[in-house]
Amino acid sequence: MPLYRIDGKKLKSIKEKSFSLEKDLQKITEDNLDILFGLEFVQTEFQLNSRFIDTLAFNPETRAFVIIEYKKDKSLSVIDQGYAYLSLMLSNKGECILEYNEQKDKTLHRKDIDWTQSKVMFISPYFTPYQVEAINFKDLPIELWEVGFYENQTISYAQRKSVEKVSIKEISKGGIIESVSKEVKKYTLEDHLQSVRGDHRDIIKDIFISLDDQITEIDNDIKQEIGKSTIYYKISGLTFAYFWFQKTQLSIDLRLPKSTKELYGIAIIRDLKEGDPFCVNVKISLSKDINRAVELIRQAYENVVSNGSK
């Protein structure tokens, strides 16, 4: 997408540049994983057996490792590469945990990791239509991120998405994809709706879809991430809202201070342990409460944008 600078009444184009070295893209991404994706950097050029992972990262919310590869060859299949990397990591879980503990000076145990939420992210200035089309599966633990670098020292990261059609399991029987799929799962809205009692499911689904539509209108840079038990909404790597599906309602934890004034009747101040920034909880089961919930979600978004991690 072309970028323009406003110069009086005129628009002047901001020209896109190329990275002088692939390492430049890798370095700037690794230095800003927390801002870009809410991830912890673990190691660069991490060796497992005789292969190297460009970047090993960790998602502290999903408790899962993330592999990041900087795509160089436009002819190679992202499916084959992605599953090969996931298989490599799943076969060397102990080495990943050991590396995390040594780099972070923490104690992470095997039971602390949710391997089902492992994933691979490919980052590149360009993906071919074939590579984008190849990720048309609803349960694919692979993401494509296209990056643009511009002459005014501006950089952009945009996820390339395609229409999710069928399950990868339906066309891949046996081999590396089937073995990885037994351990790794990409969670969907339908997985979360299983927690909702049958006769309430359609109502809660409609409420969630309406909320999701309005949240994405707040800011195009808001990212949704569907985890095992929670759906997250993030801006600049920080989560401002957690969605939990319960038997008869949707529960939303918001990153708002206890001093929040306008809480309406659908929200309460949560009794939290010290240091937890998600002080407001909203429970919603009726469509008439959507607008009030959106207003509180907007406040949480603005709180994160203006205060960062505070």
* Matching fold, domains 3-181 and 189-307: no
Q: What is the pLDDT of residue 256?
A: 87
Q: Are 41 and 30 in contact (CB under 8 A)?
A: yes
Q: What is the pLDDT of residue 167?
A: 76
Q: What is the pLDDT of residue 271?
A: 64
Q: What is the pLDDT of residue 274?
A: 59
Which residue positions in the chain have pLDDT lower than 50?
310
Per-domain boundaries in the chain: 3-181, 189-307
**Rounded Cα gap, residues 302 and 290, in angstroms:** 18
Q: What is the pLDDT of residue 308?
A: 63
Q: Considering the domain 3-181 in this protein, what is its CATH number?
A: 3.40.1350.10
CATH class of 189-307: alpha beta
**Rounded Cα gap, residues 287 and 4, in angstroms:** 40
Residue 124 backbone dihedrals phi, psi, to 5 degrees: -160, 155
**Rounded Cα gap, residues 93 and 210, in angstroms:** 39
Q: What is the pLDDT of residue 269?
A: 74
